[in-house]
Amino acid sequence: MKLAFQLAYKNIIGAGLRTWLNVSVLSFAFVVIIFYNGMIDGWNQQARRDGIAWEYGQGQLWHEAYDPYDPLSIQDGHGVIPEDKTSQMVPILMRQATIYPQGRMVSVTLKGSIPTSKLWHCPQQRC
């Protein structure tokens, strides 16, 4: 074991500047990789929190005729908000729509709400 450490030490000293250049470049690369992974993870967590705040607010109540996996049930999934929950809920209008970006036809869900509601956070560009 002692011989292995002696050989490693002699190789490091013998290589001179090349060794320290490799060590510094690898250290810098590891720091950049760790920083980048932390930044991407932070973006993902912020996107998750903002998506929940923008889409669901403090919760949601679906009509019993609405199926989120069936786009044809949007037309039937509407009703009156129960009396005991009117102060805690905001109605959202959902309709099927079609957009035509660059001449292509794409099906989308068009959502609309009261812009003055304080129950969910709406980014300024979307309201």
Residue ranges of the domains in the chain? 2-54, 56-113
In the prediction, which pLDDT does 100 show?
93
pLDDT(105) > 70:
yes
- Which of 58-62, 78-82, 123-127 has the highest average model confidence (pLDDT)? 78-82
For the chain, the maximum distance between any two Cα atoms, rounded to a whole number of angstroms, is 83
- What is the H or E stretch that residue 110 is in? strand 106-113
Do 93 and 112 touch, CB atoms closer than 8 A? Answer: yes
At residue 28 the predicted structure's pLDDT band, cuts being 50, 70 and 90, is very high
Say what the alpha-carbon torsion angle 48, 51, 57, 59 is, to the nearest 10 degrees.
Answer: -70
Q: What kind and span of H or E run contains 96?
A: strand 92-99
Tell me the two tokens of residue 52.
Answer: 């929940």
Per-residue model confidence (pLDDT) at position 101: 92
CA angle 9, 16, 5 (to 5 degrees): 5
What pLDDT score does 11 carry?
83
Question: Are the CB atoms for 113 and 55 separated by under 8 Å?
Answer: no
- The residue that leads in pLDDT, 89 or 23, is 23
- At CB < 8 A and 24+ separation, what contacts does 38-41 make? none
Report pLDDT for 81: 75
3-class secondary-structure state, position 66: coil
